[in-house]
Structure 1
Amino acid sequence: MDQHHARPSFWKTPFGIVSTIVAVVASAYLWVAHRDHLLALLPFALLAACPLMHMFMHRGHGQGGHSHAESQDNNGPRNG
């Protein structure tokens, strides 16, 4: 019998649990101690999110291995 051992999700590993707790505690501290500074930076964070989302969400485009010339050859000439 072949047993398949799936890797546990990042969130269920000890490192993932500790990382989540540290991130929550750090976020709570920043919110309590530096709320005014965080709210002042919010518009800039929204502006920075636009190019970051563009870079990370469009990284898969153009990786299909087909060029424009190949797709025209496969479809044949177009006559009206």
Structure 2
Amino acid sequence: MTNHQHSVENAPSSFWRSKTGVLLIMLVAISAFYVVREHFSHVSPYLPYLILLICPLMHFFGHGHGGHGRDGDQAEANKDEDGK
């Protein structure tokens, strides 16, 4: 008889949680900070447009890829199947 349950110890760890992944994230964050700091005068005129661009992206990704209206459709489909 085989046991198909996976224990936490046997699960492969994520690259981003390893020491190398954390180091890579830190280096990217630090370098991004210095690049933005040095080139802020070039980017600052476009900040209002970037903020407006973030709004639809947050709406799209924040609601499960645009599926925030499906619950009502499912309830109506169940009502139609019941014949009410």
Superposition TM-score, scaled by structure 2 size: 0.58
Q: 1:36 to 1:75 in 2, by over 3 A?
A: farther
Q: Is 2:53 the partner of 1:66?
A: no
Q: 2:40 aligned with 1:32, yes or no?
A: no
Q: Which 4+ residue blocks in structure 1 deviate beyond 4 angstroms? A: 6-11, 72-75
Where structure 1 has 5 or more consecutive residues not aligned to the other structure, the ranges are none
* Partner AA of 1:4 in structure 2: S
Stretch deviating more after TM superposition (66-75 or 13-22)? 66-75
Percent identity for Structure 1 against Structure 2? 29
1:45 paired with 2:50, answer yes
Q: In the TM superposition, what whole-angstrom CA distance separates every residue of 1:20-45 from its partner, at most 9, and x where no partner exists?
A: 12322222221332011232221111
- Alignment-mate amino acid for residue 18 of structure 2: T
Q: Distance in 1 between matches of 2:28 and 2:14?
A: 18
Aligned-CA RMSD value: 3.4
